Amino acid sequence: MSDVLIRRAEPQDVQRVAEIYNHYVLHSTVTFDTQPKSVEDRLEWLAEHDESHPVVVCEISGDVVAWGALSKWGSRAAYEHSVEVSVYVDEEARGQGIGAVLTRALIEEATRVGHHALINQIVADNEVSLRLSEQLGFERVGVFREVGRKFDRWLDVVLMEQLLPGSDSRGGREDQALEAESEGGS
């Protein structure tokens, strides 16, 4: 994988992002979307992702073969430091470790911008993604039973979480800096 490049997604990538995603929409349970996404929809979606919630792509020899995103976990203000991690790899590129490379890049990006909790929602029968998440430091914290229905099946969703180093359960890096200042630290 010497020709691998991870970079921020740009508007010209959305056609490929949609193609990769729509394969999973139409042929799998890894997403609960049931209707393919248009290029216009993906352009709007990309515009909604800001510096703290980036979309990245993985290129191999100039071809986009995967994408990943940090998305807002909730709309309420207290969720500000929690993000959902999503990664989708082109069907033809699976099994090459690209998902792990892209997830690590998103973990680094989340750390850089100061997020505290990373969350994965993984359909329970997706053993590959469950194992990968655990290998990358996520732990199983719960299961939503039969919350989705696709292909005439009820589907469970496993919640996985990773708390980032350097942040604490009381509010993250900002609180630590304030505590250090009030204690006379640097």
Parse the chain into domains and list their residue ranges: 4-182
Question: Is there a contact between 140 and 158 (Cβ–Cβ < 8 Å)?
Answer: yes
pLDDT score for 182? 41
CA angle 97, 125, 82 (to 5 degrees): 70
* Tens-digit pLDDT profile for residues 99-156: 999 999 999 999 999 999 999 999 999 999 999 999 999 999 999 999 999 999 999 9
Cα distance from N-terminal residue to C-terminal residue, the chain: 42
Q: Which CATH class is domain 4-182?
A: alpha beta
Statement: residue 162 has pLDDT above 60: yes
Instruction: Say if residue 177's pLDDT is above 90.
Output: no
Please count the other Cβ atoms lying within 10 Å of the Cβ belonging to residue 174.
11
Write down the pLDDT at residue 113: 95
**pLDDT higher than threshold 80 for residue 95:** yes
